């Protein structure tokens, strides 16, 4: 084991140097984002101490109750990213339309899509939550205001994606298309330090992660898969499948990345397109999981990263995780297998 201390900044700069034609613009963008997530971290760890908990009794455009920390995180990210000259626009889960870069600031060549606070229903219970981000290169003319066209790009075109998880420790997991790296925040120095070099997802593990309360709303095929995991004992393990469901996608997928298994949010009779959002939830997480050797599909064999988005807040069914687990799920959802 190397005892070299590698900060995220050093890692990003070295990665950027290795890629041809890099201008340093991209590492500066990520530096601004690091500041934002550190401020969110500071607020999250104090959440139980200050009068910041509880709903604001306002609903966001998805009809969900917005918690104060969502708004705070949304605001922090916007304000950290609006003036650096790296972005042409932003889009957030918390805002219906595209977020324009204020007139007085230069417009850059990237667009940032983000979920400021993921798993917000867990805030009041002191359970892990996260922030998710996705970065694309703009497709519209340089130096102009970004448009929705810049945001509506398929996930495989992402330049970088990542998430922070605010858990027992705060971690940032990140890919720029050359593997997945995890950094743990050392709060005493305020730096993210490389702790998980080149993360690889296990080929298979007997863990499934899904809100099983939706069982009666699922398709018969989906129900069959769940019935099957309860009966089957994976060869490698000699023990039954375990269910693990936190209800924060970041936390559930983070565990899946490190331990293996599968995370699902399928469509159901109520949510015909699933619940999770393509641009700032499914795409960034899929990019990371694929870069770690996993798979991310809609359960019917379609790679999520290839979906051509048509709306900012588009939803998508999700099957993400170890390649062999995803294959198992698909064999049921495609009707090739019965219990
Ligand atoms: P958000 O807090 O950003 O709205 O996302 C919540 C999401 C996701 O984190 C989680 O996987 C899912 O909602 C949980 O949904 P259920 O409560 O339906 O299980
Ligand atoms: Mn979310
Ligand atoms: Mn959110």
All structural domains of the chain with their residue ranges: 8-196, 207-333
pLDDT in the model for residue 309? 98
How far, in Å, is the centroid of ligand 3 from the Cα of 267? 19
pLDDT in the model for residue 58? 60
Contacts of 153 (CB under 8 A, 6+ apart): 136, 139, 309
Ligand 1 near 247 CB (within 6 A): yes
pLDDT in the model for residue 109? 96
By the 8 A CB rule, do 184 and 200 touch?
no
pLDDT in the model for residue 23? 78
pLDDT in the model for residue 158? 97
Taking the CA of residue 64 as reference, the ligand 1 atom at the shortest distance is 4
How far, in Å, is the centroid of ligand 1 from the Cα of 119? 5
By the 8 A CB rule, do 90 and 111 touch?
yes
List helix spans (H) across 194-322: 220-231, 249-259, 283-291
How far, in Å, is the centroid of ligand 1 from the Cα of 336? 29
Ligand 1 near 118 CB (within 6 A): yes
Superfamily of structural domain 8-196: Fructose-1,6-Bisphosphatase, subunit A, domain 1 (3.30.540.10)
Given ligand 1 and candidates 67, 77, 93, 118, which is best to mutate, with the most ligand atoms within 8 Å of its CB?
118
Neighbouring residues of the ion ligand 2, judged by CB less than 5 Å: 115, 118
Nearest CA to ligand 1 atom 14: 247
Question: Which of 115, 85, 114 is CA-nearest to residue 101?
Answer: 85
pLDDT in the model for residue 108? 97
Tokens of 231: 């009966």
Environment class of 55 (CB within 10 Å of its CB; exposed 0-12, middle 13-18, buried 19+)? middle
* Nearest ligand (C-alpha, residue 277): 2
Residue 91 CA to residue 284 CA, distance in Å, equals 14
Contacts of 182 (CB under 8 A, 6+ apart): 171, 172, 173, 174, 194, 195, 196, 199
Ligand 1 near 248 CB (within 6 A): yes
How far, in Å, is the centroid of ligand 3 from the Cα of 72? 11
Ligand 1 near 295 CB (within 6 A): no
**Overall fold of domain 207-333:** D-Maltodextrin-Binding Protein; domain 2 (3.40.190)
pLDDT in the model for residue 62? 73
Given ligand 1 and candidates 40, 125, 247, which is best to mutate, with the most ligand atoms within 8 Å of its CB?
247
Taking the CA of residue 62 as reference, the ligand 1 atom at the shortest distance is 4
pLDDT in the model for residue 234? 67
Residue 336 CA to residue 331 CA, distance in Å, equals 5
pLDDT in the model for residue 24? 81
pLDDT in the model for residue 338? 72
Mean pLDDT by 10 residues, the chain (339 residues): 82 83 84 96 83 57 73 96 98 98 97 97 93 98 97 97 97 96 96 97 97 97 95 74 97 98 96 96 98 97 97 98 97 86
By the 8 A CB rule, do 55 and 69 touch?
no
How far, in Å, is the centroid of ligand 1 from the Cα of 277? 10
How far, in Å, is the centroid of ligand 1 from the Cα of 121? 8
Taking the CA of residue 118 as reference, the ligand 1 atom at the shortest distance is 3
- This prediction's pTM: 0.94
């Amino acid at each position: 084991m190397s005892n070299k201390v590698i900060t995220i900044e050093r890692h990003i700069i070295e990665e950027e140097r290795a890629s041809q034609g890099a201008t340093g613009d991209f590492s500066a963008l990520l530096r601004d984002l690091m500041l934002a997530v550190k401020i969110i971290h500071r607020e999250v760890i104090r959440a139980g101490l200050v009068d910041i908990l509880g709903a604001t009794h306002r609903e966001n455009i998805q009809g969900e109750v917005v918690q104060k920390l969502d708004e705070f995180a949304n605001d922090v990210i916007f304000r950290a990213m609006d003036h650096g000259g790296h972005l042409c626009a932003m889009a957030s889960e918390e805002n219906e339309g595209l977020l324009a870069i204020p007139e007085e600031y230069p417009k850059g060549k990237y667009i940032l899509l983000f979920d400021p606070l993921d798993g917000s229903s867990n805030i009041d219970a002191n359970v892990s939550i996260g922030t998710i981000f996705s970065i694309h290169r703009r497709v519209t003319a340089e130096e102009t205001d970004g448009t929705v066209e810049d945001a509506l790009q398929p996930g495989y075109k992402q330049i970088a994606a990542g998430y922070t998880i605010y858990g027992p420790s705060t971690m940032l997991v990140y890919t720029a298309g050359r593997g997945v790296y995890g950094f743990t925040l050392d709060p005493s120095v305020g730096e993210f330090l490389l702790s998980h070099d080149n993360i690889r997802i296990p080929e298979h593990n007997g863990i499934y992660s899904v809100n099983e309360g939706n069982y009666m709303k699922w398709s018969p095929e989906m129900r069959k898969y769940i019935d099957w995991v309860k009966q089957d004992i994976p060869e490698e393990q000699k023990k039954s499948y375990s269910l693990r469901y936190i209800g924060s996608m970041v936390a559930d997928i983070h565990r899946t990345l490190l331990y293996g298994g599968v995370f699902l949010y399928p469509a159901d009779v109520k949510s015909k397109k699933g619940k999770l959002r393509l641009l700032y939830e499914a795409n960034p997480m899929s990019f990371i999981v694929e870069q770690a050797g996993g798979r991310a599909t809609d359960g019917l064999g379609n790679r999520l990263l290839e979906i051509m988005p048509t709306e900012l807040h588009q939803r998508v069914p999700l099957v993400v995780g170890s390649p062999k687990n995803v294959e198992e799920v698909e064999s049921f959802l495609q009707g090739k297998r019965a219990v």
